[in-house]
A and B are shown apart, each in its own frame.
Chain A
Amino acid sequence: MNRQIIPWSLCAAVAAGGLTGLSIGAAAASTPSLTSSTVLSDLQDPWDMAFLPDGTMFFTEKCRGLSVRHENGDVAHLLGMEGTDGFAETAEDLFCDGQAGMLGVAVDPEFDDNRFVYIYSASRLSEPGSNRVVRMVVNEDLTGVSDRTDIIDDIPYKPQASDHPFGDSGAHNGGRIRFNPGSGNLYVTTGDTHAGHVPQSGTELGGKVLRVDRNGNAAEGNAPPEGFDARIYTYGHRNVQGIAFRPGDHTAVISEHGPWHTDEINVLFAGANSGWDPRPNMAGRGDCPDDYCGYSPNQMEGMDPAERAAWMPMTDFETYPDAMAPAWENNQLSQGISGMAYLAGDQWGDWEDMLVVGYMGIGFGGTPVGQRIDLMDVAEDGSSAEASEFPLPMGSGRFRSLVMGPDGALYVALDEGEIHRISVE
């Protein structure tokens, strides 16, 4: 991991934002100056966006449902969840609970022909609730959806509260869904649902990155261990919140939330184990609250992140010597790493093809809150990354989702209820 130096130009911003100060400067000659505008506001926990080539933007709100902003700025509400009104269609089985709800959205690469749009949501159709990837057909004038098909219906959901921080039901769902522009496969990120056995399980789909076709069948080339569900692309994850595909070779790169320490970025390969194993009585640990050691040995108190990392590592190389090494560990801090995207287009100057990564900020136990967007240069072999702070042309916030628009601008969704467009002046 590269440890970093703050470039002078960013010092003021870092100081003002109260950030960690362990960021680096890739800032150099041709760095663009940025501007921003508010695209939508007064949303309720906007979670993700997906674009058509003409600028039409689908977006989800965690407890409301799927809507679309037309090219002319009008918004149509397509698929509402339990208890909502004002939507063209309502699916009473789709619900929100804590972190669970309607999360990711993706548009089929062949949308022109099939008009498929996909969402990731918690559903009550199966007991005790599950996370699903739901495919729908959008009508011609983008005002309604039909032909719902649940292409994946068996991703775990946490039905009951447990004795953990953020221990309410509905925790750790992953939820980002993205099509790989190279292969056309759909990648689905999931979470460990605060269940110790899930990440290393070959049959439970939590704590994984799944790779499937548009019908939800395992993609060709998945190479999980013997006996694993064939849809599993990588496993041993905690709670994967971001995924983007490297320009050029379309390798998948993900972000995952750390447990009071160590947010990670990983460059994926088929069959990789990310090395998260929060089971009790593993790796020298004893029993843990509700059979999940994820926040042990000290759930509710501040503690040196390095000590935590030694006790309950995000990537346990001792137990899994072949585990996939992270490219980035956020200086061993947990700050709510989230959505990410690669900047596309030469308007971005030196930043073209760099990864931008959002952080929502947490601020537990002495860790700086850390709300920001990082600009990252991830080594090709995935072994390291250099990061600097992306100079925000707007106020900071809880950066939940980052998506490149077809117009070459970066769209960011904030938990504050807003979607902003950041572009080069």
Chain B
Amino acid sequence: MRMLWGAALAAGLGLGVAAATALALEGDPAAGEARYAENCVNCHGRTGRGMASFPSIQGRDAEFIVDRLLSYRAREMVGANSALMFSLSEELTDQQIVDLAAFISTAFP
């Protein structure tokens, strides 16, 4: 499946330049799945349900996930443990973020 992010959506979220770039990309869930297995699974789990101090990311739509990852990449605190997500997300390109969002939003309903 493919995802397309419109500029209108980006504007609506007020996410700024990086966000607009990210949101104009198409997410590739297969690439997202591979990255998830490499970078995310050890905290959020195989089914995204989270564990220990790591939150569940089930039932989130792609928009929410893109939004969060962009916030973390911009080093904005969300919860008390955002620092963990800062260092992880600063490695992510816009493309990788939409890929991850495409995968997570469909694989973990």
**Does the CB pair B53–A166 fall under 8 Å?**
yes
B8 at the interface (CB under 8 A from A): no
Q: Which of A301, A361, A396, A416 contacts B45 (CB 8 A)?
A: A416
Within 8 A of A (CB), among B69-109: 79-84, 86-88
Which residues of A are found within 8 Å of B86, using beta-carbon distances?
300-301
Size category of the A interface is 20 to 34
B30 at the interface (CB under 8 A from A): no
**Does the CB pair B80–A363 fall under 8 Å?**
no
Q: Which of B43, B52, B83, B88 contacts A299 (CB 8 A)?
A: B83
Which residues of A are found within 8 Å of B87, using beta-carbon distances?
302, 363-366
Within 8 A of A (CB), among B16-55: 42-43, 45-46, 51-53
**Does the CB pair A168–B80 fall under 8 Å?**
yes
Complex-state Cα separation, A361 to B81, whole angstroms: 15
A256 at the interface (CB under 8 A from B): no
Which residues of B are found within 8 Å of A371, using beta-carbon distances?
42
The number of chain B residues with a CB under 8 A from chain A is: 16
B84 closest partner in A (C-beta): A364
A45 at the interface (CB under 8 A from B): yes
Which residues of A are found within 8 Å of B42, using beta-carbon distances?
361, 363, 369, 371, 396-398
A109 at the interface (CB under 8 A from B): no
Which residues of B are found within 8 Å of A398, using beta-carbon distances?
42, 51-52
User: Can you name 14 extra interface pairs (CB under 8 A) apart from A165-B80, A301-B86, A362-B84?
Assistant: A167-B80, A168-B79, A168-B80, A168-B81, A300-B86, A301-B83, A363-B42, A363-B88, A364-B84, A366-B87, A396-B42, A397-B42, A415-B45, A416-B51
- Residue ranges of B at the interface with A (Cβ–Cβ < 8 Å): 42-43, 45-46, 51-53, 79-84, 86-88
Interchain Cβ contacts under 8 Å between A and B, 16 examples = A165-B84, A166-B53, A166-B80, A166-B81, A168-B80, A301-B83, A301-B86, A362-B84, A363-B42, A366-B87, A369-B42, A396-B42, A398-B42, A398-B52, A416-B45, A417-B45
